[in-house]
Structure 1
Amino acid sequence: MKIAEIAQLLTVTDPPLHFSAYDGSSFGPADAQIQLHLHNERGLRYLATAPGDLGLARAYVSGDLTLDGAHPGDPYEALRVLGDWRFRRPTPKEATELVKALGLRNLVPPEPPEQESLPRWRRTVEGLRHSRTRDAEAIHHHYDVSNAFYELVLGPSMAYTCAVFPKPDASLEEAQEEKFDLVARKLGLEPGMTLLDIGCGWGGMVRHAAKHYGVKTLGVTLSAEQAKWARAEIERQGLQNLAEVRHSDYRDAPGENYDAVSSIGLLEHVGVGNYPAYFGFIKDKLRDGGRLLNHCITRPDNKQRALPGYFIDRYVFPDGELTGSGRIIAEAQNAGLEVRHEENLREHYALTLKYWCENLERNWDDCVAEVGEATARVWGLYMAGSRLGFETNGIQLHQVLAVRVADGGNASFPLRPTWLS
């Protein structure tokens, strides 16, 4: 049985693309916009032996499976079409026939691409999940790729979180500026205040608070490369008297009685089981009336398992975990913080990812020269797939604003939101 015949046997409806394989077989409309081609036996073995989306990712990242009609820097249209391809499980009789047709050799998994992280159960060599050493390794895997690569993809802001678009045709830089300013306004920042920014990345919020609000800001990040870049940019902009970034675990952040804490894109790395300690830590850092703004990716409900799909866990965010905004709000409340406002910005993240993919496609040759084609393919696949996830409500982005209430109930909070004016 030819490879395309196997795919056709298990396809439920007419394929939305054209599929071809190295054995000369093919099926699907020859004039389809998206052409999926399997180049070799290794790619077949990836597809046949890995669960979920992992086999497809392995074959694509290694170049054994290619998508004609879609740029690898922005395979959004291809992924949208692939999402319409419906398969069924083979019957027991068909499964036996398929094993014979494939042969035992093709049921032995090849070595995965070098960009792939170990499965969770094998990462214990780095420590227990969300231990300090293992968290540091997970952050290193994702964020210490190359500062030059991130500059090409993220643009001048070096902001690697959801932007906020004040209008549909706003530029990415305008939207990232608006995101930082929205956080500042929600936190009620004023000159002379202190801000702790945990998981500060390349220091965008740190610089914004210092430059535009006169706030003394400390940022901490587990990425050595991020800290190095952020410190250089702070010095370049002459903000050393107000802004500082340290290479540190957020749990080691010094000081107390902060006027505000911002956490932009950190909670995804903390682990749901560690939420009580996380929110307890933040409460202890705040003065009475001090505010927290938590900005993170979430599930659309609170019932799904927290662990991500195979591709995201192995290639993008090792040990990452997501849950619904309800769980986040509940844990913040249980830690003694009062939640005053929350909003969902998922459409804004879809737009953000669209811009990032456009940057990757436009700067493809330079990105490949910086990190290699396989890693660049990982990023195109991850960002385009995430864009689809936000558009279809598979994932969301929530900002939760909370406050440490003083004894007696004084939250030092206005009667109506002031950040909307």
Structure 2
Amino acid sequence: MGALTVREEVHARELTLSLLERLFPSNQFKGIGFRLWDGTRYPSESPSPTTTIVLNHPGALRAMLLPGTEVGLVEAYLYNDFDIEGNIEAVFPLGEALAERTNGWQKKLDIARELMRLPNQQNPRISKRGAARLSGKPHSLERDRQAVRYHYDVSNDFYSLFLGKRMVYSCAYFESPDEDLDTAQERKLDYICRKLRLKPGQKLLDLGCGWGGLVIYAAERYGVDVTGITLSEPQASLAQQRIAEAGLQAHARVR
């Protein structure tokens, strides 16, 4: 990331503050503030916020918002273009405000022009793979298959580094802060089964079953016949292996 002159940095600061006032008026969000890379705070006159969005360099707001997608925003967070201090859930209303103030192409273009006046800076993206290069009609079977394989066929060993023993990846339900991930994920699976009111002898189809966590749980604990479907061959392979290890081949399978 190249260094800026004093004049360029001052310009970036003033432009950033102007954009923040346009997008997130200071009188609308109590308890939420921004801190710029040089320590400048927005809103400047408010008491200490309970949640602070930290812009880590002069191009941070551009890196966050110019892509215009949730993926772009998340990547800016993952690569530390910005950070959040405090309650991360408190910033969600900012997303609604942003959508409202950029509703319509004219507004989007106007904001985009201002963002492009900020330095074209972002922290290094360390991924060697880059974004998925997909071909075909959007949401066609073949294109979706390409997307799924790009994301999930990086190996089961990779996902086992941070998922629980059941390899459940959507969410988990914690009853207390000291509860472990495996317990919370099992509670989520049980909640699904109870919500569906599963009973022995019924059949369950799990579309996008991942590594078969729900498939195995429902067959084992609720006595239903379960078929799981995934577009990822490594997921299906591990799921079938785990079904065999649990002795559930007669009641569960993943295709």
Q: TM-score, normalised by structure 1?
A: 0.42
How far apart are residue 155 of structure 1 and its match?
3.5
Q: Unaligned stretches of 5+ in structure 1?
A: 247-421
When residues 66 and 116 of structure 1 are mapped into structure 2, their CA distance, relative to the original with a 3 A threshold, is farther
> What letter corresponds to residue 239 of structure 1 in structure 2?
L
Please point out which of 226, 239, 245 is paired with 1:236. 245
- Distance in structure 2 (CA, Å) of the matches to 1:198 and 1:84: 31
Corresponding residue of 1:348: none
- Distance in structure 2 (CA, Å) of the matches to 1:13 and 1:45: 20
When residues 223 and 111 of structure 1 are mapped into structure 2, their CA distance, relative to the original with a 3 A threshold, is farther
How far apart are residue 63 of structure 1 and its match?
0.8
Q: Unaligned stretches of 5+ in structure 2?
A: 1-10
- Distance in structure 1 (CA, Å) of the matches to 2:49 and 2:89: 16
Give yes or no for contact 2:33–2:51 (8 Å, CA) kept in 1.
yes
Please point out which of 163, 177, 189 is paired with 2:190. 177
Please point out which of 12, 33, 49 is paired with 2:66. 49
Q: Which has the higher strand share?
A: 1
How far apart are residue 160 of structure 1 and its match?
4.3
Q: Say if 2:41 is the partner of 1:26.
A: yes
When residues 38 and 212 of structure 1 are mapped into structure 2, their CA distance, relative to the original with a 3 A threshold, is closer
Please point out which of 220, 228, 240 is paired with 1:219. 228
> What letter corresponds to residue 41 of structure 2 in structure 1?
S
Please point out which of 192, 203, 207 is paired with 2:216. 207
When residues 103 and 88 of structure 1 are mapped into structure 2, their CA distance, relative to the original with a 3 A threshold, is closer
How far apart are residue 127 of structure 1 and its match?
1.9
Q: Say if 2:148 is the partner of 1:139.
A: yes
Corresponding residue of 2:7: none
How many residues align? The count is 223
> What letter corresponds to residue 6 of structure 1 in structure 2?
S
Any idea what SS the aligned residue of 2:228 has?
strand
Give yes or no for contact 2:60–2:121 (8 Å, CA) kept in 1.
no
- Distance in structure 1 (CA, Å) of the matches to 2:89 and 2:81: 19
- Distance in structure 1 (CA, Å) of the matches to 2:117 and 2:153: 39
Q: RMSD of the alignment, in Å?
A: 4.4
When residues 66 and 105 of structure 1 are mapped into structure 2, their CA distance, relative to the original with a 3 A threshold, is closer
When residues 177 and 66 of structure 1 are mapped into structure 2, their CA distance, relative to the original with a 3 A threshold, is same
When residues 111 and 126 of structure 1 are mapped into structure 2, their CA distance, relative to the original with a 3 A threshold, is farther
> What letter corresponds to residue 219 of structure 1 in structure 2?
G
Any idea what SS the aligned residue of 2:53 has?
strand
- Distance in structure 2 (CA, Å) of the matches to 1:208 and 1:138: 27
How far apart are residue 221 of structure 1 and its match?
1.2
- Distance in structure 2 (CA, Å) of the matches to 1:46 and 1:12: 21
Give yes or no for contact 2:207–2:230 (8 Å, CA) kept in 1.
yes
Give yes or no for contact 1:13–1:85 (8 Å, CA) kept in 2.
no
- Distance in structure 2 (CA, Å) of the matches to 1:47 and 1:132: 31
Corresponding residue of 1:245: 254
- Distance in structure 1 (CA, Å) of the matches to 2:116 and 2:206: 55
Give yes or no for contact 2:35–2:55 (8 Å, CA) kept in 1.
yes
Corresponding residue of 1:17: 32
> What letter corresponds to residue 51 of structure 1 in structure 2?
G
How far apart are residue 223 of structure 1 and its match?
1.5
When residues 134 and 32 of structure 1 are mapped into structure 2, their CA distance, relative to the original with a 3 A threshold, is same
Corresponding residue of 1:63: 80
> What letter corresponds to residue 33 of structure 2 in structure 1?
H
Any idea what SS the aligned residue of 1:6 has?
helix
* Sequence identity percentage: 31
- Distance in structure 2 (CA, Å) of the matches to 1:22 and 1:145: 36
> What letter corresponds to residue 49 of structure 1 in structure 2?
L
How far apart are residue 60 of structure 1 and its match?
1.6
- Distance in structure 1 (CA, Å) of the matches to 2:73 and 2:95: 13
When residues 242 and 12 of structure 1 are mapped into structure 2, their CA distance, relative to the original with a 3 A threshold, is closer
Q: Deviations over 1:256-305 (max 9, x none)?
A: xxxxxxxxxxxxxxxxxxxxxxxxxxxxxxxxxxxxxxxxxxxxxxxxxx
Q: Deviations over 1:192-239 (max 9, x none)?
A: x76654432222343245434655544331122321321232122122
